[in-house]
Chain A
Amino acid sequence: SSELTQDPAVSVALGQTVRITCQGDSLRNHDASWYQQKPGQAPVVVIYGNNKRPSGIPDRISGSSSGNTASLTITGAQAEDEADYYCNARDNSGYQFVFGTGTKVTVL
Chain B
Amino acid sequence: QQPVQSPQAVILREGEDAVINCSSSKALYSVHWYRQKHGEAPVFLMILLKGGEQKGHEKISASFNEKKQQSSLYLTASQLSYSGTYFCGTAYNTDKLIFGTGTRLQVFP
Q: Do A and B bind each other?
A: no
